[in-house]
Amino acid sequence: MIYLDYSATTKTDSRVLKYFNVVSDKYFANANSRYKLGRMSKSAIKKAGRQILNTLGFNDHEIIYTSCATEANNLAIKGAIEALKGTKNRVITTSFEHSSIIAPINALQRKGLLVSIVRIDSHGQVDLTHLQELMNPDVGLVSIGSVNSEIGIRQPIEEIAKIAHASGALFHCDATQSIGKEIVPLHVADLVTFSAHKFYGIKGIGALIKRKGVALDAQLHGGSSTTIYRAGTPNTPLILSLWKALFQVYKKHEQKYAKVKSLNTYLRELLTKIPSVVINSPSEALPHILNFSLLGHSSRKVVEILSRQEIYISNHSACLSNTRKSLAVLALTGDEKRALSSLRVSLSPSTTKQELRKFVSALKKAGNSR
């Protein structure tokens, strides 16, 4: 098996699984309970929260645990807009965002929210001049992800934050594709979202990191939890496993990043030898993601052909894998053919050059089939 879809999800680190089993046994009590066992669970959660915030470079934020990044994005967007009580009724976002950003914005738009789409430049980055032009007193939230999940394009989040804050707007950054892969100055954002399963953690746990003092309307009600912003019994073992996954993934980070960057360069070299391939990811994109188009071939068909050989890549983000074309590639290139034939390979430090050679060999054969 050759797995090259790490941006969709990662296999849980065995050390994280072992830790999860240990803490499931030790901290089984409800963290809301007032007796000793409950207080032990609550204390463990608080300690994990401090470690997570410290690891990610936050010192003026608090953490809200969710079931995944999708829930976190919904809470960030709906919660922030609803807390404004109509005083600011516009959101700015891009055409590059994940469906879990677009869907809650669309839901709010049907209720009267105004939405502005900021332009991107030829490299896929936000046009900061256009963003500045869009900023008006009615803008309550700017929601732009740190890295596009299909193409790997990084966004200048520090500059975006400055522009948003200068106009009195909040900045929400979906960092799902950044955390665990690189170190980003996420502390500039008011709201940051991510999910553990993207960095070898267990599925079912994500988080929204919120700047203290930012108002947020809860979306789940009933019963106390770790914060007032999300009801429900705290899942102590999953919360602790989130910290463990984060701790493990950032061990020897520079070494891991350098290896992935080297693999990306190697794969680019292999792909350029196929005449029908055009690479969509810019050279300055996050190296963990490489998007390209196999012109003249349906991306869904190529994924299916490779899957039969136990080689796993994707055509779009996993949440949009059934769509025919990549809207992100179309937005970047303006080319319908490239959008219809785009494919995404996502790498990890455990990927090998041998795997990449086998993948490219199989891709060539898939390109010759009709």
pLDDT digits (tens, 9 = 90+) for 282-311: 999 999 999 999 999 999 999 999 999 999
CA distance linking residue 1 with residue 7, whole number of Å: 17
Q: What is the average pLDDT value for the chain, to the nearest integer?
A: 94
Mean pLDDT (whole number) for 24-40: 94
- Kindly list the structural domains of the chain, giving each domain's residue range(s) and its CATH number in brackets, ordered by start: 14-249 (3.40.640.10), 252-368 (3.90.1150.10)
Rounded to a whole number, what is the distance in angstroms from the first to the last CA of the chain?
24
Q: The pTM is what? A: 0.94
State yes or no: pLDDT of 320 exceeds 70: no
- Residue 350: half-sphere exposure toward Cβ, Cα within 13 Å: 11
Paired with 314 in beta bridges are: 344
SS3 212: coil
Crossing angle, helix 236-249 and helix 36-55, to 10 degrees?
A: 30
Q: Which residues pair with 211 in a beta bridge?
A: 61
What is the predicted pLDDT for the residue at 223? 73
The residues, ordered by sequence, that sit 6+ positions from 333 with a Cβ below 8 Å of its Cβ are 280, 339
CA separation for the pair 209, 219 (Å, rounded): 16
The length of the chain is 370
* Confidence bin at 325 (pLDDT 50/70/90): confident
pLDDT at 35 over 70: yes
221 CB neighbour count, 10 Å cutoff: 8
The most distant pair of C-alpha atoms in the chain lies apart, rounded to whole Å, by 68
Q: Confidence class of residue 368 from pLDDT cuts 50, 70 and 90?
A: confident
For residue 68, indicate whether it is catalytic.
no
pLDDT in tens, 222-244: 877 889 999 999 999 999 999 99
Task: Give the Cα separation of 210 and 161 in Å (integer).
Answer: 14
Tens of pLDDT, residues 202-223: 999 999 999 999 999 989 888 7
Strand partners, 147: 154
pLDDT in tens, 110-120: 999 999 999 99
Q: Which one is catalytic: 17, 114, 319, 330?
A: 319
